[in-house]
Amino acid sequence: MPICMIKILEGRSVEKKRRLIESVSHAMADSLEMPVDRVRVVIEEIPLECWGRGGKTVADRVAEGSAALPKP
């Protein structure tokens, strides 16, 4: 049973996460030539203040206007 672990910034809608799980599950099942119901997908949402890029947190970048929030 393959497991795909995906880390994303928090803030996306439940519907977007459902679509992500569905599309990743089908891609893995097709690639591995196995039934889709054997594929597992785990989404870990990371708070904006716990994700950094270029020495700053995403929360700080959003506050200063140099980054945008994920679209819900």
15 domain-assigned? yes
25 domain-assigned? yes
Per-residue pLDDT band at 3 (split at 50, 70, 90): very high
Helix and strand tally (H, E) in the chain?
A: 2, 4
- Report the CATH number that the domain containing residue 24 is assigned in CATH: 3.30.429.10
55 domain-assigned? no
- What domain range includes position 12? 3-47
Per-residue pLDDT band at 72 (split at 50, 70, 90): confident
> Is 2 tagged catalytic?
yes
27 domain-assigned? yes
Of residues 45, 10, 49, 4, the one with CA closest to residue 24? 4
* Tens-place pLDDT, residues 15-70: 999 999 999 999 999 999 999 999 999 999 999 999 999 999 999 999 999 888 88
* Structural domain count, the chain: 1
Q: One of 2, 47, 70, 72 is an active-site residue; which one?
A: 2
